[in-house]
Chains A and B, each alone.
Chain A
Amino acid sequence: MDWLTEPFQHEFMRRVFVGGALIGFTGGFLGAFIVLRRLALMADSLSHSLLPGLAVGFMIFGLAPMGLFFGALVAALIVAVGAQLIARSSRLKEDTALGVLYTVAFSLGVVLISFVKVRVSLVHYLFGNILGLSNTDLWMIWGISLVVVPLLAALQRPLLLTLFDPTVAASQGIRVNLLNFVLMIALVLTMIASLQAIGVIMLLGLLIAPAATVYLLCDSYPAMLWGGGLIGMFGSCAGLLVSYRLNLPSGACIVLVLGLIFFAAYLFSPRYGLLRKLRRARHFHEDSLARWEKYDGKKQ
């Protein structure tokens, strides 16, 4: 028991766990929309695009958190909007345009970071280091979580209609483009909040693994939102504990825990698990033949 409770005796570790729980919940909650809207590639692109924004933020504002925040926000929006523009003005499809743009942006970030005067470690932003979590960071995480989760929860009905069928939703008078934009902003904000703990490379895992897990377990949309949030929160805290105990990188530990939960659902889900599919090898010949008995019986 001591193994579990001891970290919470340090004020610093309490802060880390609160931050981790908030990030996990917000990311897991948002993940439902990414999975159902098939935005995984978009999310991955945006997370990588944060890097050049951070680098420019360092150059202009030093380590001031607000500068980094706006740098990352602007960079992600440039890549998202740029991909749309390229896709609409050429024969390329959006996934290709995104792929080109975000790798270019990421490379630009790697190059720019090496020019930055302040001492920052690239590895820190690539793989995350929650031990660097400052009080200001924690306030930002609180702020973003308290904007993103209530906003998406309030919009969940029109979002559901949009996710299920954008054409029909538009025919019912829902402003589909506006909702997609809100979703995109919520996504970028959540990424910025999670950057410190997870790092840009593994961000996607925190965002989609919880929702993917619930998707394999049940057929309920609200369960995907809230269940994804709870799994994300649990995985995040468990990952942080492992990371603290074994002195391992925090982002990797969190995503590994979430990955374990995901694979458990993939194999053992009572409804959509692999084992259930394999086990259903029973023959139904008798049942099929029974139909005819009934039919012949009626005839007589």
Chain B
Amino acid sequence: MSLRASLSTAHGLAVSDLTVSYNRIPALHHIAFEVGCGQCVALLGPNGAGKSTLLKALAGLLPHETGRIAFHGHEVRGATRDFAYLPQREAIDWDFPTTVRGLVEMGRYLRTGWWRSYGREDDQAVDEAIAAMHLEPLAQRQISALSGGQQQRAFLARALAQQAHVFLLDEPFTGLDKPTQDDLKQLLRELRDQGKLIIASHHDLPSVPAIFDQTILLNGELIAAGAVGEVFTDANLRKTYDTPTFAGPAPHHHHHAHD
């Protein structure tokens, strides 16, 4: 590795030669990119292009066939507390008996371990996370009594309480109305300015330049990765979206090959 490359990865995330397969059919194929901390990164690509797969692989939820993920110059193997994965909202049981505060406290459980009791320091971290996401008036509400945007903020607060450095968000803007999207955009910027790295899969192309600093264009293979100004071009987008996604030699019902 060149000196230049090792310097740049010392303060960020470096992915090299990453391949993830389902039943030997690659969903991600030899992906390589580098992003520094303090950035908002859009993950773009058609359905079935491997956006969720990349997020899950980064979160340590999927084994990789080849490749390496490094954060701050150290290889990441499996799950780590430095990364927080925020699932799509449909994946959550909103009737679960917990309040907003209870949800944010879950972020501390990993820090406190199984046995150590929950201390003043934890309470303070939870308070700060709730305040940062402007959730104070809602802290005692049951989580189903929140709007979509508030639910996103509650999960971001949990990631903050966990003291994660990398936020992996699956479609955070989907289903939010315009003012709520603007709020979320503002909050993601605040997190970015604190030096967090935010990687979010995203569907709405026109809003990309207003929200994100960097883009990763994905369709099984990496099409392009870099600053929005350089990479978010018509030519790259056409290349990303006009090619059918790869679903293996035979029809395979887990993928959305032809939609």
Contact = CB atoms under 8 A, between A and B. Distances in A.
Interface of A: 36, 154-155, 157-158, 160-161, 163-165, 167-168, 170-174, 215, 218-221, 223-224
Nearest to B140: A219
Interface in B152-194: 162
Contact of B97 (A154, A161, A171, A220): A220
Given A164-B96, A165-B91, A173-B81, 15 more contacts: A36-B96, A157-B109, A158-B114, A164-B93, A167-B87, A170-B60, A170-B61, A171-B60, A171-B79, A173-B78, A173-B79, A174-B79, A218-B97, A219-B97, A219-B142
Interface in B87-110: 87, 91-93, 96-99, 102, 106, 109-110
B87 A221 contact: no
The majority secondary structure among interface residues of chain A is helix
B97 A165 contact: no
Contacts of B142: 219
B20 interface: no
A294 B93 CA distance: 36
B103 to A, nearest CB: 8
A130 B110 CA distance: 43
Contacts of A170: 60-61, 79
Contact-residue size bin, chain B (C-beta under 8 Å from the other chain): 20 to 34
A161 B106 contact: yes
Nearest to A160: B106
A161 B84 CA distance: 13
A167 B85 contact: yes
Most chain A CB within a 10 A radius of its CB, from B59, B97, B162: B97
A154 B115 contact: yes
A85 B61 CA distance: 22
Contacts of B98: 164, 219-221
A172 B114 contact: no
Contacts of A155: 114
A158 B61 contact: no
12 contacts: A36-B96, A164-B93, A164-B96, A164-B106, A167-B56, A167-B85, A168-B85, A168-B87, A218-B97, A220-B102, A221-B98, A224-B97
B92 A165 contact: yes
Contacts of B97: 36, 215, 218-221, 223-224
A172 B96 CA distance: 19
Contacts of A36: 96-97
Given A219-B97, A220-B97, A157 B114 contact: yes
Contacts of A154: 114-115
B45 to A, nearest CB: 21
B83 interface: yes
List the 10 shortest-distance A-B pairs measured between CB atoms, nearest first. Answer: A173-B79, A171-B59, A171-B85, A157-B109, A219-B142, A219-B97, A171-B79, A171-B61, A172-B110, A164-B96
Contacts of A218: 97
A167 B110 CA distance: 15
B102 A221 contact: yes
